[in-house]
Each structure stands twice: as structure tokens, then as C-alpha cells.
Chains A and B, each alone.
Chain A
């Protein structure tokens, strides 16, 4: 079974500072990888996804993530944090080999932006 680990349940950065949210996956084959964001009391919305086309993936709101097979990682970054980035972020993985049972999600990282 696939799994995804998000390091750090809470990450705090200052406004204008670099945002780095970590995600590592376990899979025998390179999976499809996703980052979703959730604002309070709302559903999730897709930030970006990796499906093997390019290792550096650019998403919405200035976020990007880099797929590193050797490190089995898909960390999310943003050069300069904004107050509106405060939210819960989820990394998710699926198996490109088959199955239609949705995604496996990490436990989430709560991003706090300090003024």
C-alpha cells in the first residue's frame, strides 16, 4: 500500500519568508503526486500535481513543487509567504498502475504566517 508522510504538523514562517512544506512518499513505482490546500471549514482545492511530465511543477498562488525520485520527495515551496497562505496543506499520492479508489492523503501541515 502506498503512503505519504508530511513532516511537521505545524509550520510557522514570517510574512515574506520562504515557505517549505515537506512531503515524502513510499511507492515501488513513481506515483502521481498532488498538493491540496484547505481553508477553514472548506473543502480542498488543488494547488498542483505531478504526473511525470516535468519534475518541477508550478501551481496556483505562486507555489511550486519538485519531484525528486532519489529522495522520494515532493516538497512544496513558495518564495515569499503572504498572510493569505495561512491554511492546511495536504500532500496526496496515487498509483499510476491502476485502481480508481481516489488518493492517499498525508496527515496535513498547518501553515501559520507571522506578521
Chain B
């Protein structure tokens, strides 16, 4: 079945540590997105990518980095500069890059700080 796979489902970060969240899709979608979800805050856009080897900052990019070396993969690194990383992270993709396209979501990664 086609879809988006996020791993791991749960991740713990020690202070000063960088951690990487994986996002893989086999839907052949061009656009991919990373959202952060905090209770009562909805979803906020971290980074998005419309095409391989290109990505743009979203609303809350500070303390995060991404890469898009392959169409199907869009990993997110939470760096030590992100002082409040505890959140639920959602990866999404869409067929095209126009904003009326349906977003397909992964099942998320819960990141917590030790």
C-alpha cells in the first residue's frame, strides 16, 4: 500500500543532542512538509520542499534542519538549538505544489526530552 512512513514512533533527546526524524513516502509526490503539533496549538509548519534538492523555511524553522536528496525522503533534524523540542511531529506530502491539493500525513513521531 502507498503511504507515508515516519520513524521512530517515539524518540527521546538528551540535552545538547541532535536527533533526526525519518519520513519516507512511496506515493511519488513532489511536495513534502514537516509540521509540529503542540497541545492546543494546532499544526505549525517547520519546513517544506517542492522538489528534490530544494526546500524552504516555514513559520517555525529555527532550531531545525532538513534535506531532500531523494524524492521519497525528507528527514528532519532537531538540533540542540531547539530549546523546546518536545512535541508531536507530522510529515505530510501532496501530489503537486498548488495549495488546493490534499495533504497525506504520516502517523507522527512523538519527541520528548530526557
Which residues of A approach B to under 8 Å, CB–CB? 9, 32, 34, 36, 41-46, 49, 51, 90, 94-96, 98-103, 105-108
Contact = CB atoms under 8 A, between A and B. Distances in A.
Given A43-B105, A44-B90, A45-B105, A105 B42 contact: yes
Interface in B61-114: 90, 92, 94, 97-100, 102-103, 105-108, 110
A49 B45 contact: no
Given A41-B108, A43-B108, A100 B103 contact: no
- The binding surface of chain A is classed by DSSP as loop
A9 B36 CA distance: 18
5 contacts: A43-B4, A94-B99, A95-B99, A102-B58, A108-B40
A9 B35 CA distance: 20
B74 to A, nearest CB: 13
B105 A103 contact: no
